[in-house]
């Protein structure tokens, strides 16, 4: 009777314990439990390591809005080499209102049209990058994030000292035009003002000297940013006829670039190309030369570099740790259950209670041998 009262007292004390104890089976050291713990901590360490690199990475956010700036000037950056002597060609801009824009910012430099070996290697590399950009549009984000770090896209100077005559003209510099559609062109003869527009003095130039083979080393709009590649950079065209017209139809999109390295107002553009031989006898009319007709989009793109907030990084880390703990616990329990089922089904092992030693009428000095009914 005394033992029964003692047992009831112990049970009552356990019920009053504000901090319940876990079953002893939860703290048993087993080989399977240790293996699962090692795997869980390894997975947590790896995922936390990779998550840190995700936290360090940035991405570009694109937003679109109406461009309300109609008063500012648009800058055109030009670097084009034409396979004709400088005294035979002229470049200028004519906007939609038939207003001729002064081309004082352009320089005419006599050069050799053929590239040196190092320049040709640079040009081929640029063309390969342009082809990859056309196939993988996401690479443009990489260029935006690494502006001011990339190498300049301008053609490097020649490393040799050629003795052949200078048979080409490099037209480079910049122009400021109004933000309306216009036409930048390079054709035969120097441009002269005209009450109804403008004209080129082409009468004194022989048709046999016409050769509008050209290479566009750089063409951009707005603020010039090192490291940014434009669609026409590296374009090279070879004329198959003396009277040939090359046309580029360009759509300009105002762009505000905001990254952790630079903040600039620039412009992106898309382009379609067309070329044809001028032959009035078959109805192909026009003027031989290089014509770039551009139009400006009414929408503006805001490109902003963004970064994951620190609090979101902590939340993701907590999710990784808690998810792995829960998953490994469930898997460990499921595997243990399946092993027990297989062992019982195929009788690979029979459950037997552990041997109990008797001390002072108790099992393992804890549980009484006699039940409550037996003591009664």
* pLDDT value at residue 197: 62
Enter the pTM of the model: 0.68
* Residues forming a β-bridge with 200: 191
Better-predicted residue by pLDDT, 145 or 96: 96
User: What are 79-91's pLDDT values in tens digits?
Assistant: 999 999 888 888 8
Residue 262 makes CB contacts below 8 A (sequence gap 6+) with: 147, 148, 225
pLDDT tens-digit profile of 156-179? 788 777 778 888 999 999 989 888
pLDDT of residue 169: 93
pLDDT at 261: 78
More confident residue, 246 or 32: 246
Mean pLDDT of 259-276: 86
Q: Is the pLDDT of residue 5 over 90?
A: no
Q: Are 235 and 220 in contact (CB under 8 A)?
A: no
* Phi/psi at 49 (5° precision): -65, -45
Give the Cα-Cα-Cα angle 238, 239, 245 (nearest 5 degrees): 120
Going along the chain, which residue ranges are E strands? 58-66, 73-82, 89-95, 100-101, 106-111, 168-178, 182-188, 191-194, 197-200, 214-222, 235-237, 244-258, 263-277, 289-296, 299-307, 358-359, 362-363, 367-368
Q: What's the rounded Cα separation, in Å, for the pair 67 and 301?
A: 9
The answer, yes or no, to whether residue 368 has pLDDT greater than 60, is no
**Distance linking the first and last C-alpha atoms of the chain:** 8
Phi and psi angles of residue 101, each rounded to the nearest 5 degrees, phi first: -90, 135
Tell me the pLDDT of the chain averaged across its residues. Answer: 78
C-alpha to C-alpha distance for 100 and 194, rounded to whole angstroms: 9
For residue 66, give both structure tokens.
């109406």
Closest to 305 in 3D by CA, of 53, 57, 136, 51: 57
Residue 376 pLDDT greater than 80, yes or no: no
Assess whether pLDDT exceeds 90 at residue 216.
yes
pLDDT tens-digit profile of 341-366? 777 765 555 445 555 444 444 444 44
By the 8 A CB rule, do 82 and 168 touch? yes
41: three-class secondary structure by DSSP = helix
């Amino acid at each position: 009777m005394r033992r029964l009262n003692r047992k009831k007292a112990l049970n009552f004390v356990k019920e009053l314990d504000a901090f319940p104890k876990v079953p002893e089976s939860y703290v048993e050291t087993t080989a399977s439990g240790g293996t699962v713990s090692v795997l869980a901590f390894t997975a947590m360490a790896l995922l936390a390591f990779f998550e840190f690199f995700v936290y360090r990475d940035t991405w570009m956010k694109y937003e679109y809005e109406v461009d309300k700036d109609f008063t500012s000037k648009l800058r055109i950056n030009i670097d084009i080499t034409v396979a004709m002597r400088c005294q035979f060609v002229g470049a200028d801009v004519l906007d939609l209102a038939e207003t001729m824009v002064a081309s004082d910012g352009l320089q005419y430099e006599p050069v050799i049209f053929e590239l040196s070996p190092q320049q040709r290697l640079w040009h081929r590399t640029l063309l390969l990058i342009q082809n990859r950009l056309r196939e993988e549009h996401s690479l443009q984000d990489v260029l935006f994030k690494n502006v001011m770090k990339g190498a300049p896209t301008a053609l490097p100077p020649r490393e040799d000292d050629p003795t052949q005559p200078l048979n080409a003209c490099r037209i480079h510099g910049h122009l400021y035009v109004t933000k309306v559609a216009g036409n930048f062109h390079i054709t035969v003869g120097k441009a002269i003002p005209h009450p109804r527009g403008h004209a080129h003095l082409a009468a004194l130039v022989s048709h046999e000297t016409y050769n509008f083979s050209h290479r566009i080393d750089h063409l951009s709009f707005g603020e010039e940013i090192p490291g940014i590649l434009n669609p026409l950079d590296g374009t090279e065209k070879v004329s198959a006829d003396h009277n040939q017209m090359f046309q580029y139809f360009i759509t300009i999109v105002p762009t505000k670039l905001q990254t952790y390295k630079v903040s600039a107002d620039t412009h992106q553009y898309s382009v379609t190309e067309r070329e044809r031989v001028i032959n009035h006898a078959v109805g192909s009319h026009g003027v031989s030369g290089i014509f770039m007709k551009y139009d400006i989009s009414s929408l503006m793109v805001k490109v902003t570099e963004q970064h994951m907030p620190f609090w979101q990084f902590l939340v993701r880390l907590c999710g990784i740790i808690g998810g792995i703990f829960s998953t490994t616990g469930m898997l460990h329990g499921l595997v243990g259950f399946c092993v027990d089922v297989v062992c019982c089904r195929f009788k690979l092992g029979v459950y037997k209670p552990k041997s109990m030693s008797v001390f002072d009428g108790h099992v393992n000095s804890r549980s009484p041998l006699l039940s409550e009914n037996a003591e009664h």
